[in-house]
Chains A and B, each alone.
Chain A
């Protein structure tokens, strides 16, 4: 049973380009969370999704950022027109959802905007 898979592990984009980060949850997990971590800072919640639904996107910047978790395929975090301030580690976690069920993290995507 593979863990949470994120790709790419490292992504370099020029300012103004688009970044697409992918997250495949663990088998049997239908809940996905995205977090951003700036250097020397804590994890900041971005968005929480279940299959085909965004449950909570209170941590997502209002512009340029979007997320989806389609019925088939991985969850995608999309950043349009990237800026230098978007450079960070983006972690995805998945869980079964209800109750005292743990969430497991992928290894993250390190985005560098040049």
Chain B
């Protein structure tokens, strides 16, 4: 089983749609969770941290289910500019102690007119 697993997509959605991405992680000792966004040939950029109680930032909502080892990202009212690859990131719990960042392979989103 992969340490961090994501559906690669692509998810093709019309502008204004709501889309949800899921991510599972293998190690229950993992401590911190993040979503990053990567545009083509650019560096990954932090989108949001994921907190146990769930958190929202504008059109973006992140949730964590520690019991199921599952993280989600919901994007409402999607925009053309949301088209990118979304990376699920898990910190800690794997080899390398508590601070190693492990990335999923990413889910590609394409928002269309």
What is the interface of chain A, defined by CB distance below 8 A to chain B? 31, 33, 35, 41-43, 45, 48, 55-56, 58, 89, 91, 93, 95, 97-108
Contacts and interface: CB of A to CB of B under 8 A. Distances in A.
B46 interface: yes
B104 A42 contact: yes
Given A31-B99, A103-B101, 9 more contacts: A42-B87, A42-B104, A48-B99, A48-B100, A55-B99, A56-B100, A100-B32, A100-B51, A100-B91
Q: Please tell me the size bucket of the interface on B.
A: 20 to 34
The interface centre, meaning the residue of A42, A93, A99, A104 with most chain B CB atoms within 10 A of its CB, is A42
Interface of B: 31-32, 34, 41-46, 49, 51, 87, 89, 91, 95-106
A35 B103 contact: yes
Contacts of A33: 100-101
Contacts of B87: 42-43
Contact of A91 (B31, B43, B99): B43
B43 A108 contact: yes
13 contacts: A31-B99, A43-B87, A45-B100, A55-B96, A56-B96, A91-B44, A93-B44, A95-B99, A99-B31, A100-B31, A104-B46, A107-B42, A108-B43
